[in-house]
């Protein structure tokens, strides 16, 4: 099959279609060798025959934006199998087949039925096939080909980011880059000059220029001054077809603003200024303003004002208002027309941010002279002192002079002055003032202990002009007089323990005096004993405004006396000295060994063991029950004894076993009161035979004699063995068994006896302090042994 493209129908584009067709055949066509392809080499014709295929493929091209009434012819499909008899049927499938592109199935002619836009779709992919119309069998395999939309210059360049707003510093060098603009063209940049853009400036010359290829805008003049012109509007044009006639164009606006630099020094509009300031102006107030002009803006116009010289540099000060950039003149010291009527100041205004590139345009500062005229004002009286301090003794009589205030008219007229007290508070009514002399006197009798200080305000006005009034504060201190005796600093709760020792400090007391330290700083303490010496307590003056209460004896008993009253005499060191008497109440209390108070009530002995009321009641009930039970046993025993008929002594004919027990417990070997151990230790003391109560012996044994020896030399163990042998050989032993028990406790203990029967009369080094750690049940016992130990030590 061979594909042939034809020329455009539109006569205007014949030349363009011809160029396109040749250009496409030379560069864009992809040619498959057909059965009857002929190639000329050096004048010869060579023919190759392929009987099965006969396709000639090229890329088809169709112009965009076709506006003709008839469909645009695209090309032709032809197969070598087509003999022209209509037996071959051409079929077209793919993108746009049947809608955009149609084919004559007999001739193979392809037409475009719609106007195409390359900017929307650049090409279409289609498939062609030739089949036998009679058998519907393909004569050639289906092949793919492309129809490209040929571009025409139908899109003008566009500035997508415009309009532009940009700044550039003033006084920039010529050629300084301002901005680069870019225009885009939707046409095909690979075909022709439809998308080749050239830039030019339509408005903004001679201040700015633009690079025709890159679109870079630059300054075209030297030293463009913002103060002369600040805003510029530059119009840039972009034209395609490389700027040739017939090309399409687009434009945009670039708004350029010159930014400020510090290229203008400040300047005062005048070299001499004059300012009027009344002498009544308050210190610290603003009295005037001055300003130096600067054509720059922002920080480049920031200013600082200073007073560089002049006779008023110490009286006036100047500061800068950052908002208005003005110099604010303030008063540092009060003005006095009568002393000085004018001042001269030299004021400098200078930029604070300098640009050294423009230092040749300086200096960036300026100086002007300011003359200040002081205005005369009728002023109120002026006191000789800003405040007064006076003193007066308390208890002073009414009308006592306290002090004098003085004021004068500062004006040249020197008018007379009248004084009075502002009665704004109650304190102002405690004093009076002489209207002519200014002498202040008391109007009441003062008590320093009630109010030690008074503050009043004295006013002075001119007699000729009472509306001009000045005020001064007056402080009056009330001086102290020794009119208050000392007294105890507080109520003291003094406690003395029952087991207190002589010379023991039980309380330290202090005193206070309503008078100040000059009349009561040193206190003297003593006992107000009268004619008798206190046998129970004494007082010691510590000479530091304190005194100590000490015990004079030991062992105070609550049962005897539970409260003591101790009169104390206190005197101060004022002139004249004053004294007062106070009574201390001393309570007697039971205390722990470490001095802690346990109880101060006489009825609290039973509770000292730490038992509650319920526990005490239970103990009393137990005691009552035990007494009743014991009484019942005694009654039973007496009843049984009276009812018994037999004697306690067994007769001689009564032969039976008898065990006599002795269950007396003594206090040990050292217990000589409960049991006499001498009889056991000394054999001679037991020589006399003790007859049995139940047997009457017939033969009296011979007495045994032993050598005399001291008691300590007797071996008790040997004595018991000897007695045991005698019992075994005794002929008077009854015929029944008789048990005699001898218990041997061993030798005397080296640590001594543990018996306490004779501990009352012996001297002991035993320390009973541990009894205080046994709990509340043993507190009374610990207290008793503690007192015994104290008596022994004493």
Q: Is the pLDDT of residue 524 over 80?
A: yes
Q: Does some domain include residue 166? A: yes
pLDDT bin (cut points 50, 70, 90) of residue 285 is: very high
Q: Minimum mean pLDDT among 221-230, 358-367, 641-650: which range?
A: 641-650
Average pLDDT over residues 232-241: 92
Which is higher by pLDDT, 675 or 39?
675
Angstrom distance (rounded) from CA 29 to CA 56: 10
Q: What is the pLDDT of residue 650?
A: 46
How many domains are contained in the chain?
A: 5
Average pLDDT over residues 60-66: 80
Q: Does some domain include residue 571? A: yes
In 444-555, which residue ranges form alpha helices assigned H by DSSP? none
The phi, psi pair for 666, rounded to 5°, reads -100, -170
Last residue of a domain, one of 345, 375, 405: 375
Is residue 402 domain-shared with residue 318, that is, in the same domain?
no
Q: Does some domain include residue 651? A: no
Is residue 236 domain-shared with residue 325, that is, in the same domain?
no
Q: Does some domain include residue 247? A: yes
Q: Does some domain include residue 752? A: no
Q: Is the pLDDT of residue 405 over 60?
A: yes
Q: What is the pLDDT of residue 719?
A: 77
Chain centroid to CA 89: 95
Last residue of a domain, one of 351, 375, 399: 375
Q: Does some domain include residue 240? A: yes
Q: Is the pLDDT of residue 370 over 60?
A: yes
Is residue 371 domain-shared with residue 400, that is, in the same domain?
no
Which is higher by pLDDT, 723 or 491?
491
Helix, strand, or coil (residue 681)? helix
pLDDT bin (cut points 50, 70, 90) of residue 744 is: low
Angstrom distance (rounded) from CA 406 to CA 419: 9
Is residue 517 domain-shared with residue 537, that is, in the same domain?
yes
Domain CATH number, residue 213: 2.60.40.60
CA-to-CA separations, 592 to 38, 56, 72, in angstroms, rounded: 143, 135, 132
pLDDT bin (cut points 50, 70, 90) of residue 43 is: very low
Q: What is the pLDDT of residue 709?
A: 43
Q: What is the pLDDT of residue 378?
A: 81
Q: Minimum mean pLDDT among 267-271, 735-739, 779-783: which range?
A: 735-739
Residue appearing with tokens 């492309």: 146
Domain of residue 549, residue span: 487-599
Q: What is the pLDDT of residue 661?
A: 54
Neighbours of 444 (CB within 10 A): 10
pLDDT bin (cut points 50, 70, 90) of residue 96 is: confident
Is residue 474 domain-shared with residue 500, that is, in the same domain?
no
Last residue of a domain, one of 430, 454, 479: 479
Is residue 193 domain-shared with residue 216, that is, in the same domain?
yes
Q: Is the pLDDT of residue 4 over 60?
A: no
Q: Does some domain include residue 336? A: yes
Q: What is the pLDDT of residue 659?
A: 54
Q: Is the pLDDT of residue 683 over 60?
A: no
* Residues 127-171: tens digit of each pLDDT: 998 998 888 899 888 888 888 887 777 788 999 888 999 999 999
What is the full DSSP assignment across 115-132? ---TTT--EEEEEEEEEE
Q: What is the pLDDT of residue 703?
A: 47
Q: Is the pLDDT of residue 404 over 70?
A: yes
Q: Does some domain include residue 218? A: yes
Neighbouring residues of 509: CB distance < 8 A, sequence distance ≥ 6: 488, 489, 492, 525, 546, 547, 548, 549, 568, 584
Is residue 132 domain-shared with residue 205, that is, in the same domain?
no
Is residue 163 domain-shared with residue 134, that is, in the same domain?
no
pLDDT bin (cut points 50, 70, 90) of residue 326 is: very high
Is residue 194 domain-shared with residue 277, that is, in the same domain?
no
Neighbouring residues of 44: CB distance < 8 A, sequence distance ≥ 6: none
Is residue 122 domain-shared with residue 192, that is, in the same domain?
no
Is residue 495 domain-shared with residue 570, that is, in the same domain?
yes
Neighbours of 666 (CB within 10 A): 15
pLDDT bin (cut points 50, 70, 90) of residue 693 is: very low
Average pLDDT over residues 10-20: 32
């Amino acid at each position: 099959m061979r594909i042939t493209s034809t020329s455009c129908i539109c006569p205007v584009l014949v030349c363009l279609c011809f160029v396109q067709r040749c250009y496409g055949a030379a560069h864009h066509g992809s040619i498959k060798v057909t059965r009857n392809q002929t190639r000329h080499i050096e004048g010869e014709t060579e023919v190759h025959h392929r009987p099965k295929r006969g396709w000639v493929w090229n890329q088809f091209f169709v112009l965009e934006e076709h506006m003709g009434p008839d469909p645009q012819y695209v090309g032709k499909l032809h197969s070598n199998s087509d003999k022209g008899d209509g037996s071959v049927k051409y079929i077209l499938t793919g993108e746009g087949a049947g809608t955009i592109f149609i084919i004559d199935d007999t001739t193979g002619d392809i037409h475009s039925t719609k106007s195409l836009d390359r900017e929307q779709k650049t090409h279409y992919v289609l498939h062609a096939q030739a089949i036998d119309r009679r058998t519907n069998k393909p004569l050639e395999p289906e092949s793919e080909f492309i129809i490209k939309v040929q571009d025409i210059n139908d899109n003008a360049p566009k500035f997508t980011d415009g309009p532009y707003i940009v700044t550039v510093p003033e006084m920039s060098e010529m050629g300084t880059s301002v901005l680069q603009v870019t225009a885009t063209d939707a046409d095909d940049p690979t075909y022709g000059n439809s998308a080749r853009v050239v830039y030019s400036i339509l408005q903004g010359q001679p201040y700015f220029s633009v690079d025709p290829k890159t679109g870079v805008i630059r300054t075209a003049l030297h030293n463009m001054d913002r103060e002369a012109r600040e805003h510029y509007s530059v119009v840039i044009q972009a034209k395609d077809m490389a700027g040739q006639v017939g090309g399409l164009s687009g434009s945009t606006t670039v708004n350029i603003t010159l930014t400020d630099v510090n290229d203008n020094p400040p300047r005062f509009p005048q070299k001499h200024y004059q300012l009027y300031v009344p002498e009544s102006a308050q210190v610290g107030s603003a009295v005037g303003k001055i300003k130096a002009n600067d054509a720059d803006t922002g920080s480049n116009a920031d200013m600082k004002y200073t007073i560089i010289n002049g006779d008023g540099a110490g009286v006036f000060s100047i500061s800068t208002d950052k908002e208005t950039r003005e110099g604010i003149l303030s008063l540092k010291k009060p003005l006095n027309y009568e002393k000085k009527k004018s001042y001269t100041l030299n004021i400098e205004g200078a930029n604070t941010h300098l640009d050294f590139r423009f230092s040749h345009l300086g200096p960036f500062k300026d100086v002007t002279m300011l003359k200040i005229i002081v205005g005369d004002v009728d002023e109120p009286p002026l006191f000789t002192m800003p405040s007064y301090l006076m003193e007066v003794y308390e208890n002073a009589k009414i009308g006592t002079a306290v002090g004098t205030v003085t004021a004068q008219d500062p004006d040249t007229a020197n008018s007379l002055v009248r004084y009075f007290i502002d009665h704004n508070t109650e304190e102002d009514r405690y004093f009076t003032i002489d209207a002519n002399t200014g002498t202040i006197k008391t109007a009441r009798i003062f008590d320093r202990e009630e109010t030690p200080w008074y503050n009043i305000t004295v006013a002075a006005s001119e007699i000729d002009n009472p509306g001009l009034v000045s005020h001064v504060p007056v402080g009056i201190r009330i001086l102290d007089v020794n009119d208050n005796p000392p007294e105890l600093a507080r109520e003291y709760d003094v406690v003395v323990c029952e087991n207190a020792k002589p010379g023991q400090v039980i309380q330290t007391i202090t005193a206070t005096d309503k008078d100040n330290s000059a009349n009561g700083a040193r206190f003297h303490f003593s006992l107000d004993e009268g004619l008798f010496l206190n046998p129970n307590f004494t007082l010691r003056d510590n000479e530091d405004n304190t005194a100590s209460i000490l015990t004079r004896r030991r062992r105070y008993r609550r049962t005897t006396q539970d409260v003591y009253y101790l009169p104390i005499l206190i005197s101060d060191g004022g002139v004249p000295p004053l004294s007062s008497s106070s009574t201390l109440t001393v309570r007697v209390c039971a205390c722990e060994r470490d001095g802690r108070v346990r109880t101060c009530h006489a009825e609290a002995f039973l509770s000292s063991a730490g038992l509650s009321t319920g526990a005490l009641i239970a103990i009393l009930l137990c005691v009552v029950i035990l007494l009743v039970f014991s009484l019942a046993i005694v009654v039973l025993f007496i009843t049984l004894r009276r009812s018994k008929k037999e004697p306690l002594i067994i007769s001689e004919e009564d032969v039976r076993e008898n065990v006599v027990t002795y269950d007396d417990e003594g206090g040990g070997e050292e217990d000589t009161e409960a049991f006499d151990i001498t009889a056991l230790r000394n054999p001679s003391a037991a020589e006399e035979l003790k007859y049995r109560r139940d047997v009457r012996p017939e033969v009296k044994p011979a007495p045994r004699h032993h050598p005399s020896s001291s008691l300590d030399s007797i071996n008790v163990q040997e004595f018991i063995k000897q007695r045991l042998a005698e019992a075994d050989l005794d002929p008077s032993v009854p015929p029944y068994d008789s048990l005699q028990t001898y218990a041997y406790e061993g030798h005397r203990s080296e640590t001594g006896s543990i018996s306490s029967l004779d501990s009352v009369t012996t001297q002991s080094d035993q320390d009973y302090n541990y009894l205080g750690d046994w709990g509340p049940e043993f507190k009374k016992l610990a207290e008793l042994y503690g007192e015994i130990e104290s008596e022994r030590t004493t």
